[in-house]
Structure 1
């Protein structure tokens, strides 16, 4: 706790001692060793999907806790190989990516068809694979922002993947097509016994109003989560909220309710993240927040802060990539373990 408090700095007391009242924790389905039984047992998920989910929740340092730590490495497509791996060229090697997830005690590694194709025979039995089905590539010029399928659900199954992942750019011109594609893919994945993870990101230039960026607004990301669980995601990946009020600031965008801002959220980051959890069927579908870009020396503190907010909000874990793999393996393992230590620390409770 001392180390975590030191990493949180001036925010330690505000984050560690906060008691949420906007949405009480008693209203949520919270993570725990029996999470699958409490949340998924009576759903339409087949025994094969439940078995795959159990493989995820019971693997790595967080195994059996109800929390997950996932290493995602699809940035070689999403950003470029150079932007992703120049800081540590070892991770151009796909086996090193999977090795980092294993050495780092992660529950799973989420990555591309190419990486898993190279690592499948040697590593599929050592850690659960999540095959990322779609990507946004930036070599098309001028750049466009559209998630397109890079492979099939059947291909992911043949690689030994326990789950599949996909991204939807909610708010983009292409979002409706992406929703349909991903919904179909998730249905097929469930039929084959794999679990599903959805990156619920927002993407629209009009989501920036008067110099304020609402791409990580609690109300907008919460609605993206709500659509995501509707189409069959077993886990939602979302950016940590940075503000609120996107529905009110963006003219003509959807509908909201004053209670969201007057009673159900506050300005506290734990309450903003809890609104994301609430939109994941009140926690019945796990929310994992993303670790974000690597900032260098502050990465460890930023990752621990995000983990504390996620856990205390009622979230299920963290998915952190660049902060871990854009540094030597030993330091990456240390960062991943520091994130996991937050979830293993019984003194850090749900607010």
Structure 2
């Protein structure tokens, strides 16, 4: 029986999320997380011993150590969303050290942030918690704003900092996606040579994806973004939780011809249940061989309930964990630690199983 706190936070969604038992893609087809995940999955890959060591370090850190699940604090919003918009709610996080302290005190497996944030405190913390250095960003000072990810440093800088991994974003579907795919695939290959793991923010970005719904968060389109991400050897995929499906169908309405689809995606591989939609994302990560971590989303009025629901959906879908930033750092540190620990409690609860 799941903990009372988790059930209370799920509220009216508890029965639907905790009782779901008939996924379209069966659990037996998946490579589910577990204490032996590095030995069972990554050891058979082309990753060298140093990459395996850094992956193991990440999986053996924090409150989730030894479970096969990851809880990561990402704070790159100072660039991606602007410093003022990100830190006005809690100006303490303009100080880079507080970002790393929150990850340490919050029991995270790793902290993901910018060259500047991690570099300014690297000698104090690089040996205490795995660093994921985010190597590219979309800056919002160019006028008018544009959606493009550009490199902010080199893979060697991350290596010299003592990072366990590098992270990068690709805006799949954008005008600049082809260049970004080339840049990030080259960065990931070099990171693996240096012995660092790779984490890819597999985001969609194109105004055409907004129609009757926002298909930036459709299971079919995000699933294909994940499939492109693991193709360039991302060890871990970060993706937004799917909120709908049928992106390909919407974009192919009328006379347009976009991509390729098979309608069995919507009948045999998914349903409208959020766990099924997220499982399709997992399926596109080589059935879970590359871990899927879903993002926690923006901060709001119901952060604890939303974070727990996202964690339950991810875990029951066969995902590898949660990467939650704004919900944690846009509040006092004590509350941020509590939120991170609440997310982790879902993955520590043995009664919440893969559906």
**Quick check: TM above 0.5?**
yes
* Match 1:255 to one of 254, 257, 260: 260
- What is residue 342 of structure 1 aligned with on the other side? 346
1:235-289: per-residue Cα shift (whole Å, max 9, x none)? 0000000000001110322111111111110000000000000000000000000
* Match 2:39 to one of 37, 40, 44: 37
- What is residue 53 of structure 2 aligned with on the other side? 51
- What is residue 199 of structure 1 aligned with on the other side? 201
- What is residue 323 of structure 2 aligned with on the other side? 319
Question: 1:142, 1:306 → 2: CA distance?
Answer: 34
- Using structure 2 for the length normalisation, give the TM-score: 0.98
Question: 1:20, 1:33 → 2: CA distance?
Answer: 25
State the Cα RMSD in Å. 0.6
* Match 2:151 to one of 149, 169, 188: 149
- What is residue 300 of structure 1 aligned with on the other side? 304
Question: 1:306, 1:62 → 2: CA distance?
Answer: 17
- Tell me the SS of whatever aligns to 1:228: helix
Question: 2:112, 2:316 → 1: CA distance?
Answer: 25
- For the pair 1:266 / 2:271, whether they are aligned, the reply is yes
1:115, distance to aligned residue in structure 2 (A): 0.6
- What is residue 71 of structure 1 aligned with on the other side? 73
- What is residue 19 of structure 1 aligned with on the other side? 21
- What is residue 281 of structure 1 aligned with on the other side? 286
- Tell me the SS of whatever aligns to 1:197: strand
- What is residue 127 of structure 1 aligned with on the other side? 129
* Structure 1 runs (4+) greater than 2 angstroms displaced: none
Contact 1:77 1:135 in 2 (8 A): yes
Question: 1:5, 1:227 → 2: CA distance?
Answer: 36
1:90, distance to aligned residue in structure 2 (A): 0.4
- Tell me the SS of whatever aligns to 2:217: coil
Question: 1:240, 1:21 → 2: CA distance?
Answer: 17
1:156-187: per-residue Cα shift (whole Å, max 9, x none)? 00111100000000000000000000000000
1:20, distance to aligned residue in structure 2 (A): 2.9
- What is residue 291 of structure 1 aligned with on the other side? 296
- Structure 1 gap segments, 5+ residues each: none
Question: 1:90, 1:37 → 2: CA distance?
Answer: 40
1:134-153: per-residue Cα shift (whole Å, max 9, x none)? 00011000010100000000
Question: 2:80, 2:170 → 1: CA distance?
Answer: 13
1:21, distance to aligned residue in structure 2 (A): 3.1
1:102-124: per-residue Cα shift (whole Å, max 9, x none)? 00000000000001111100000
- For the pair 1:161 / 2:163, whether they are aligned, the reply is yes
Question: 2:39, 2:249 → 1: CA distance?
Answer: 38
How many residue pairs end up in the alignment? 349
